[in-house]
Chains A and B, each alone.
Chain A
Amino acid sequence: MDGDLIHKILDYASSKSAYAEVRYMGLSVNQLGFRNGEFQGLSFSSEQGYAIRVLNRSISMGFSNSSDWNKVKGVVDRAIEKSNFEGKNQIYQGKAIKDSWKVNVRKKVEDFSIEDKVSIIKENDSVMESSGASVRVNSLTDKRIKQMYVNSIGSEIQGDISRINYFYLVGVIEDGEFEQSVEQYGSSSGFEYIDGLSLPERIEQDINDLHESAAAPRINPGKFDIIVGPEISGIVAHESCGHPTEYDRINGREGALAGESFLTGRKLPMKIGSPAVNVVDDPSMEGSFGYYTYDDEGIPSRKRYLYKNGETNEFILNRESAAHLGTESNAGGRSASWDMEPLARMSTTYIEPGEYKFDELFAGIRRGVYINSFTEWNIDDIRFNEKYVGKEAYFITNGDISGRVRRPVIETNTIKFYSSVDAVANDLEFNAGTCGKGDPMQGVDVWMGGPHMRLREVYLQ
């Protein structure tokens, strides 16, 4: 099956619906993993299918991976029948677009040998072992997606996507104390991404940090001026800006799952924090893990300012939530597989860099903590009350780093966090993640990032 039924499905569904669309996705995934120096196995899958969405008195979807027209027709008929039950029936339609796009790749994932993939992981595992990690888990995944989207308005979009993902978990024991690190690197590109990562050096540094952190003192709880690193800026941008501005949370559609938003029912725009903070979601950033030119609903992507100058500015919208809001979709519709509905999702979410140099952030901090990365984190279901436990962290005394501190905890809320920011550095780094949402769960590839930032008077425990 290569999508050859797509127009026949659309014609049939359109003839019986006020609006119809069909998405064909072919998805090839390869994954291999090591645990504590032992190869675990190689898995691969190649699957493809159609997602059909129809709108009448309500919205229905059907999914089929058959190339037998009669079986596909049965799925479409069922969706049409069910769409005549009363329910919500608004969807942003927009104008017809015909286009194609692809991720630029230098080393194609399908040309990269299994031996080379094994070699990459073996080298990293070897570095972990020689650095004293007693727990070592590595996995490497590559993904190729070919997609076609058509709808009854006349759109026809073809996409060709390639993504690479490296995951590791390491743990060290120092004098009986355990410390762990979980890291993920990903990009929309070919295997040239791995070449440029210098993973062995990053891993060695990470493990050295764990050894030192395991032996470091805990903090005496109290208020501190703090500097957070890009990894923390990124997770904050993702959790307490990206998620609460997904409009299907604001309008309650995700209420029984990942929850709603602290913005639900608020008068907007709402002041979130310091005017020094701008938070962006940008799917059009080439090379980013969540990169796309068109979303999975055929809408052209663009950069979106979610928080601007410390206030709410724009929401993440797919076709359904845009209709609910009475506006245009801004290309937030993403689906993790051919058999899942498109939801309002993030891509690359980051806090914009400011004008300070990194060193300048330390000036004027008499008693503080620099938290460069995190381990445990979580946030409540309206994305307001959040916790970040520091992984690599240091005391600051009179503007200088003065030794490590173990697992300092920021447990605060979104308004307090963004309001405490008084200086934003001019650097910018990204981390990869797999963002979960929806039922069935859809993990989509994202980047999270930001600069170093200084926050005043933050309670640490």
Chain B
Amino acid sequence: MSDFDLDHILKKLKEKGFDDYALELFSSQTEQVRFSGNSEDLYNNWNQTTLVIFASRKQRVVSTTVRDPASLDSSIQLLWDLSGKIPNNPAFQGINPDKQKRYGNRKLKGQDYDLQDFATTLINSALESGAERTAGIVYNRKHNITVKTEYNQCSYTTGGLEAVIRSFKGNSSGQEARHFGLSTKVDSSMIAEIGRESSEPLNHNNTPISIEPGKFDVIMSPYVIGNLISNSSDFLSYYSVESSLSCFADSLNKDVSSKEFTLVDDPLDSSGVGFRACDDEATATRKNTLIENGVLKGFMHSYSTSRHAQTATTGNAGIITPHAWQLKILPGKKSIEEIMLEMDEGLLINNCWYTRYQDYRNAVFSTVPRDGVFYVKNGEIQGLVSGIRISDSIPNVLRNVADISRETKNVKWWEEISASSMPYVLSKKIGISRAF
């Protein structure tokens, strides 16, 4: 039960003289267990209520975060005072006024789990599968969210379980980072499987192999392609296009990848923690196809950016900056084993991090592989490669996609991978650099 009365707050904003407003109320219960060295480090629990108020007055846009109901009146007064002192935002076209007919699944409920028991299960299953030591995090989140505007109101529950484990053996490591939305009931056997999978790279041929920089065929695990797609998804936001910072700016309805590749944003899939029934301006979310069989089909929009582009909102507000909710690369037909067997020579990369761009406009980046980087020849792993980077551009990685596995994983990891569902992706002639 929240201490914030949204009807009353909306009425106050209207009486004050604001001409547009959106309220987003989060009531969240979150538990976390952190572990390392095969034992628990810390149990954390949060129980918080947060109200975000967005308001505009003749396109002068202000927003605030309120946690204490006692400070609500003073916050609204400050919003009003400040909105009289700032320039207008000509890009802001108002909150979506269209009455929403229906929202996605609003009957989901948070689930209770014994996270300390799950952490122990993760650790033990990894150790039984060959790991010498482990580190990780388990989360259980329940968010009750209400978004209210002058025109619409949407309430729903999201969250779920997240399990991250990194397994080590000598200088080798493997990692799994999975998420389960509220429509999935997670049990110990599912957690144990994650622990086992995190140890799989430790049991491959780990003979050190040195490679020279150049172009390589690369099988990117769900974590690697998940990282690259997460880090580049803003280029598919129309805000980036308008900012002159998108490599896809002039590519609408043109080929941007090989025909094997289809990318969707699917916030209505409640098997993942990225589930959302509405966006920040109470527009009903929907499954949006961004790239279909290699062709760029559309950008992510809020109501404001959709007006600039003379199209419809896609339900991706961020009112000012639209963004993705839960990305998916649609699966292919072959198994990962078949893709591997067909590889003459190349690399299998299990994870990466620290993706950074030297050129946002052309999406020129590098990222650092970790947790199992294997040299593959004639379909077999020959040994372990270290000290390399993927140094290329996002357009080049997408254009050179040659195969996509039928297996997918729900992946989400720290700040590196947003909640998404990703397959293995083979991309050919990818730039690999190394340290000298």
A195 sits at the interface (CB 8 A): no
- Across the interface, which residues of B come within 8 angstroms of A196, CB to CB? none
Q: A35-74 vs B: 1/0 string, CB under 8 Å?
A: 1101111111111110000000011111111010001001
- Across the interface, which residues of B come within 8 angstroms of A47, CB to CB? 65, 67-68
Interface 9-residue window, one of A157-165, A381-389, A395-403: A381-389
Does A79 lie within 8 Å of B39, measured CB to CB? no
Does B43 lie within 8 Å of A46, measured CB to CB? no
Interface residues of A in 256-286 (CB under 8 A from B): 256-259
Interface residues of A in 67-85 (CB under 8 A from B): 67, 71, 74-75, 78-79, 82-83, 85
Q: Please, which residue of chain A has its CB at the minimum distance from the CB of B354?
A: A378
- Across the interface, which residues of A come within 8 angstroms of B166, CB to CB? 255-256
- Across the interface, which residues of B come within 8 angstroms of A78, CB to CB? 45
Q: Would A58 and B48 be within 8 Å (CB), given that A135-B361, A178-B361, A385-B435 are in contact?
A: no
B78 sits at the interface (CB 8 A): yes
Q: B380-404 vs A: 1/0 string, CB under 8 Å?
A: 0000001101000000000000000
Does A1 lie within 8 Å of B68, measured CB to CB? yes
Q: Would A43 and B354 be within 8 Å (CB), given that A63-B48, A378-B366 are in contact?
A: no
A309 sits at the interface (CB 8 A): no
Does B436 lie within 8 Å of A87, measured CB to CB? no
Q: Please, which residue of chain A has its CB at the minimum distance from the CB of B245?
A: A135
Does A65 lie within 8 Å of B357, measured CB to CB? no
Q: How far is the CA of A441 from the CA of B357 in the complex (A)?
A: 20
A339 sits at the interface (CB 8 A): yes
Does A38 lie within 8 Å of B89, measured CB to CB? yes
Q: How far is the CA of A40 from the CA of B92 in the complex (A)?
A: 8
Q: Please, which residue of chain B has its CB at the minimum distance from the CB of A72?
A: B47
A376 sits at the interface (CB 8 A): yes
B54 to chain A, nearest CB (A): 9
Contact of B135 among A85, A114, A255 (CB under 8 A): A255
B21 to chain A, nearest CB (A): 13
Q: Please, which residue of chain A has its CB at the minimum distance from the CB of B38?
A: A252
B40 sits at the interface (CB 8 A): yes
- Across the interface, which residues of A come within 8 angstroms of B67, CB to CB? 47-49, 65
Interface residues of A in 98-137 (CB under 8 A from B): 113-115, 118, 134-135, 137
Does A82 lie within 8 Å of B43, measured CB to CB? yes
Interface residues of B in 217-244 (CB under 8 A from A): 243-244
Does B45 lie within 8 Å of A439, measured CB to CB? no
Contact of A63 among B45, B116, B358, B389 (CB under 8 A): B45
Does A60 lie within 8 Å of B44, measured CB to CB? yes
Q: How far is the CA of A254 from the CA of B353 in the complex (A)?
A: 14
A459 sits at the interface (CB 8 A): yes
A412 sits at the interface (CB 8 A): yes
- Across the interface, which residues of A come within 8 angstroms of B78, CB to CB? 44
Contact of B86 among A42, A71, A459 (CB under 8 A): A42
B109 sits at the interface (CB 8 A): no
- Across the interface, which residues of A come within 8 angstroms of B86, CB to CB? 32, 39, 42, 114, 118
- Across the interface, which residues of A come within 8 angstroms of B49, CB to CB? 65
Q: Would A377 and B356 be within 8 Å (CB), given that A339-B48, A411-B389 are in contact?
A: yes
Does A178 lie within 8 Å of B362, measured CB to CB? yes
B272 to chain A, nearest CB (A): 18
Interface of B is mostly: strand
- Across the interface, which residues of B come within 8 angstroms of A32, CB to CB? 86
Interface residues on chain B, number (Cβ under 8 Å)? 79
Does A380 lie within 8 Å of B368, measured CB to CB? yes
Q: Please, which residue of chain B has its CB at the minimum distance from the CB of A87?
A: B40
B335 sits at the interface (CB 8 A): no
Most buried by A among B88, B414, B435: B435
Q: How far is the CA of A36 from the CA of B355 in the complex (A)?
A: 25
Contact of B370 among A42, A59, A380 (CB under 8 A): A380
Does A171 lie within 8 Å of B361, measured CB to CB? yes
Q: Would A118 and B368 be within 8 Å (CB), given that A135-B243, A411-B389, A436-B415 are in contact?
A: no
B394 to chain A, nearest CB (A): 14
B137 sits at the interface (CB 8 A): yes
Interface residues of B in 169-198 (CB under 8 A from A): 175
Does B357 lie within 8 Å of A376, measured CB to CB? yes
Does A44 lie within 8 Å of B82, measured CB to CB? yes
Q: Would A381 and B366 be within 8 Å (CB), given that A38-B90, A137-B243, A461-B433 are in contact?
A: no
Contact of A411 among B90, B243, B414, B435 (CB under 8 A): B435
Interface 9-residue window, one of B56-64, B95-103, B294-302, B325-333: B56-64
Does A255 lie within 8 Å of B365, measured CB to CB? no
A218 to chain B, nearest CB (A): 12
- Across the interface, which residues of B come within 8 angstroms of A252, CB to CB? 36-37, 133, 135
Q: How far is the CA of A42 from the CA of B137 in the complex (A)?
A: 35
- Across the interface, which residues of B come within 8 angstroms of A255, CB to CB? 36, 134-135, 166, 168
Q: How far is the CA of A64 from the CA of B67 in the complex (A)?
A: 11
Q: B19-47 vs A: 1/0 string, CB under 8 Å?
A: 00000000000001011110111111111
Interface residues of B in 342-376 (CB under 8 A from A): 353-362, 364-368, 370
A413 sits at the interface (CB 8 A): yes
Q: How far is the CA of A38 from the CA of B308 in the complex (A)?
A: 15
A367 sits at the interface (CB 8 A): no
A375 sits at the interface (CB 8 A): yes
Most buried by A among B67, B367, B387: B67
A303 sits at the interface (CB 8 A): no
B358 to chain A, nearest CB (A): 3
- Across the interface, which residues of B come within 8 angstroms of A35, CB to CB? 91, 243
Does A381 lie within 8 Å of B353, measured CB to CB? yes
Q: Which residues of A contact B (CB under 8 A)?
A: 1, 32, 35-36, 38-49, 58-65, 67, 71, 74-75, 78-79, 82-83, 85-88, 113-115, 118, 134-135, 137, 171, 178-180, 251-259, 320, 339, 341, 375-381, 385-387, 389, 407, 409, 411-413, 416, 436, 439, 441, 459, 461
Q: Which residues of B contact A (CB under 8 A)?
A: 32, 34-37, 39-49, 61-68, 70-71, 75, 78, 82-83, 85-92, 116, 133-137, 164-166, 168, 175, 213, 243-245, 320, 353-362, 364-368, 370, 386-387, 389, 414-415, 433-436
6 pairs of A and B residues whose beta carbons are closest in the complex: A255-B135, A87-B40, A376-B358, A459-B436, A41-B61, A378-B354
A selection of 6 A-B contacts at a CB cut-off of 8 Å is A35-B243, A42-B86, A45-B64, A85-B116, A87-B41, A439-B137
Beyond A64-B47, A339-B46, A378-B389, 20 extra complex contacts between A and B, CB < 8 Å: A45-B66, A59-B42, A60-B43, A61-B42, A82-B45, A85-B40, A114-B86, A135-B361, A178-B361, A251-B36, A252-B37, A252-B135, A253-B41, A256-B36, A257-B137, A257-B414, A378-B368, A387-B435, A407-B358, A459-B436
